[in-house]
């Protein structure tokens, strides 16, 4: 039986394979921070390390849609979703002694098409 969770897991796996093929390495998967019973928590689907000299941490939001109608998967990364990803990144970074350069990427999966959008949004 195909569930929303199983579709989401499959999308994250496809995104991970795509990013690994581009030379990034996996640091953390499904990083979640609880905010309480009535507040939405923070979440980051994938935390990757870029293959650059600075060791840039890449916080990745994965979105999937069956087709590109209504703007496609990338259009579903709302400001609220960005805020939750940024909050997750802040919590993750607070555990590090030294903060490396960071960026926020989106991997949009529309049907069979995988689109990687480096630096899709920022923390401002």
- CATH code at 68? 3.40.1350.10
pLDDT over threshold 80, residue 56: yes
**Least confident segment among 59-63, 69-73, 98-102:** 69-73
The pTM of this model reads 0.90
> Cβ atoms within 10 A of the Cβ of 115, count?
15
Structural domain that includes position 117:
4-121
pLDDT over threshold 70, residue 38: no
pLDDT band at 37 (very low <50, low <70, confident <90, very high): low
Q: 91 in helix, strand or coil?
A: helix
Can you tell me the mean pLDDT for 61-67?
87
pLDDT of 7 reads 82
CB 101 within 8 A of CB 87: no
pLDDT over threshold 70, residue 67: no
**Least confident segment among 4-8, 45-49, 62-66, 99-103:** 4-8
Residue 43 contacts by C-beta under 8 Å, 6 or more apart in sequence? 30, 31, 32, 33, 84, 85, 88
Domain count, the chain: 1
């Amino acid at each position: 039986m195909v569930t929303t969770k199983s579709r989401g897991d499959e999308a994250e796996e496809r995104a991970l394979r795509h990013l690994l093929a581009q030379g990034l390495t996996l640091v953390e998967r499904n990083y979640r921070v609880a905010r309480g019973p009535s507040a939405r928590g923070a979440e980051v689907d994938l935390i990757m390390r870029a293959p650059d000299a600075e060791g840039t941490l890449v916080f990745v939001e994965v979105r999937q849609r069956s087709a590109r109608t209504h703007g496609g998967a990338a259009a579903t990364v709302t400001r609220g979703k960005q805020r939750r990803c940024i909050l997750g990144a802040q919590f993750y970074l607070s555990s590090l002694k030294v903060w490396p350069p960071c960026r926020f990427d989106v991997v949009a999966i529309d049907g069979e098409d995988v689109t990687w959008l480096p630096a899709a949004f920022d923390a401002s």
